[in-house]
Amino acid sequence: MILTFVFADTIVKVKIDGHSVTFANADSNYLQFVPINCLRLTEEGILKEHPDLKDKPFGEMKKIAIERFKKFVSLLSNEETIKDYVIKELQNSGYKLKLVEKNGFRPQVIK
């Protein structure tokens, strides 16, 4: 399943395949999905989600946050619960869900 989000003039696609969550944006022409390790995370964003990491250097903070994300996603029961989690987290950051594409189904436009 692929979720398409918009934030101002930025479009981000999130691909959920089992318990794997990958991301694509204009830098890859939306063709190459990359894991969360390859995203440019900010210290502010990490601390918003994980305030207990404030005393760590940025590199270690990022590594721990990514490990926590992967562990949390692996504990979710199925793609639908992962989808709901991703939507909630990105909407909390100001992204708006615009399109949901599931294999074998027509894309669902979200208004």
Distance of CA 60 to the CA centre of its chain: 20
Confidence bin at 99 (pLDDT 50/70/90)? very high
Q: What is the pLDDT of residues 30-62, one digit of tens each?
A: 889 999 988 888 899 899 889 999 999 999 999
Q: Is 1 or 31 the better-scoring residue by pLDDT?
A: 1
Cα gap 21→14, rounded to integer Å: 7
Domain interval for residue 28: 2-109
Total number of domains constituting the chain: 1
Report whether 66 contacts 74 (CB < 8 A): no
Q: Say what the pTM is.
A: 0.86
Kindly report the average pLDDT of the chain as a whole number: 92
